[in-house]
A and B are shown apart, each in its own frame.
Chain A
């Protein structure tokens, strides 16, 4: 039976440490890893007419940047680790979206860090860890 671990990852040093922890855990349990990167997004935010016009274009650019700058290096870095690695890239509220990814992947646990960098699209930690602990359908590990 497949054993999957979802790891919240935003490219920050703290999230790198979290990923290292998850890789060790996956090795010991023979589990696969899903590196999840969530671009913070609320459908209820306010934009100017110009931002609306360019939103679709910007979204494409943001996804591409996340793919090449955040996720691709991880895949490359873990190529020889012996752990099976896949990625998930989504927009949304971070804790909610991580839960969605857990459900979609059928994962058995989720691991996040506690503090991250404060980049707008990658504010994956902070109170996110707390919220996630409250709403996650699977056990949550929070890496300090």
Chain B
């Protein structure tokens, strides 16, 4: 029965596509135009460059924040790394708390919300525009972002709401209201509202439309081109069944298959790298050379840097505030422990997985360079690097992996769909938390948001990559604008927690159970 359903799902779009291509394509075009024109002003504001330069202020904003947190907490991401691993392994968990949410589970759930298309498609976009050098800046941003994540997740747990029935709600909107009141700072409520608005937009953008868009691109890449709104409607129906119909089986299957897919993805990348072991040195050479010279990329070094930082932030969401929502359900007496655990997230997501993708794209020679000068050739628009088959986004990653293993494009197609789906489920939850913070909890109110969420799945699958990715980035970065201000205001609280915890760890008051 299952197989029949799948077959039908694949066949239906193909048939529709064959019968009414012209009408369908123009419908995609209409949705795209409408979407691009209604979101352009917002995108332009978020990505406006510093006067007289091409450097967007928002990228500087994220990098400066990550640097400040890294310095303020004394390279916490490196100091606490071994302790973070112990915490995830459960060495410090009280056996009597078995049955509660463990550090591992909070991390795994947060990761399944972040590991996804950013790692597959986002990296391809970064390397396709910024060249191999973008990888260097991406890794750097990932390492620095660990400190941002540490700060926001500690606060997320510390100021979460625990209700009488035992459920919890946490996230930036709660530390903005409660934390600001505690420190006697003004405007906490205002910031929480602003954050919630952006969080809803982010959940509809990067957490939804970008996913639907790239999932459609991947399916079309495998089965042939067909109108995006068909994928959109199928996807929306499944998301609807899970978040409104409460069809837990789909969600729980996804939750189990996604980690498996993640491991399979990394293993395949490793095998491809090992098969080309002699080129790894060259690839890193390209990454370093490109990081500082650009190797002919549009915008040169700055172009590589912007792409690297942008895609890293989009992929690991450090400083954005979404992780603070995901991590806040853990059972711990020490909020700081969840901060430690969460700093592994950008490491796994960006430093490990994104780097794998980038290396595979570079090593398999997808980017076209001039053999005489070693400089990359740009395509007609002059904005992106030429690729062998003109691929971009997820199609570029797919081409890179399938050049080594032809069958991998099918695995990747399934992985992309599952990643997209799990990210959508996670972000529908983040968006819902922001929505209920604004409008209060209640069945009807929640349904309204969930229906809106499903509508955006269709829009995302229909629109072109350009406008979707711009809006997705803009909405997610807008969250970071508000969130990072709050993190600056509240970081002394995290420092107090950190010092207290570290001294108790040293004295043996906090000890291993296993």
Q: Which residues of A contact B (CB under 8 A)?
A: 39, 41, 43-50, 52-57, 59-60, 62-63, 90-92, 97, 100
Contacts and interface: CB of A to CB of B under 8 A. Distances in A.
A91 B98 contact: yes
B398 interface: no
A66 to B, nearest CB: 11
A47 B255 contact: yes
Nearest to A46: B255
B393 to A, nearest CB: 27
B334 interface: no
Contacts of A50: 251, 429
The size bracket of the interface on B is 35 or more
Given A43-B93, A46-B108, A49-B425, 8 more contacts: A43-B102, A46-B112, A48-B426, A50-B251, A52-B330, A63-B99, A92-B95, A92-B98
B369 interface: no
15 contacts: A43-B102, A44-B105, A45-B105, A46-B108, A46-B258, A47-B108, A48-B248, A53-B167, A53-B169, A54-B167, A56-B101, A56-B331, A59-B166, A63-B99, A91-B98
B109 A90 contact: no
Interface in B152-195: 165-169
A90 B96 CA distance: 8
Interface in B238-279: 248, 251-252, 255-256, 258-259
Given A53-B167, A55-B329, A60-B166, A44 B104 contact: yes
A1 B330 CA distance: 43
Contact of B105 (A47, A54, A60, A90): A47
B169 A43 contact: no
Contact of B99 (A39, A48, A49, A52): A39
Interface of B: 90, 93, 95, 98-102, 104-106, 108-109, 112-113, 165-169, 248, 251-252, 255-256, 258-259, 325-326, 329-331, 425-426, 429-430
B105 A62 contact: no
A135 to B, nearest CB: 15
B106 A52 contact: yes
Interface centre among A41, A50, A54, A97 (most CB of B within 10 A): A50
A55 B103 CA distance: 13
A74 B396 CA distance: 63
A46 B256 contact: yes
B210 to A, nearest CB: 19
Interface centre among B95, B113, B169, B248 (most CB of A within 10 A): B95
Given A43-B93, A54-B167, A57-B165, A49 B429 contact: yes
B437 to A, nearest CB: 14
B331 A46 contact: no
Interface centre among B99, B252, B330 (most CB of A within 10 A): B99
Contact of A52 (B101, B248, B430): B101
A100 B95 CA distance: 10
A60 B326 CA distance: 21
B99 A46 contact: no
Contacts of B325: 49
Given A54-B167, A62-B99, A46 B109 contact: yes
Given A55-B329, A59-B100, A92-B98, A49 B109 contact: yes
B160 to A, nearest CB: 10
Contacts of B167: 53-54, 56-57
A40 to B, nearest CB: 10
B113 A49 contact: yes
B83 to A, nearest CB: 18
A19 B336 CA distance: 45
Contacts of A60: 166
Contact of A53 (B98, B168, B251, B255): B168
Interface centre among A41, A56, A57 (most CB of B within 10 A): A56
Contact of B104 (A39, A43, A55): A43
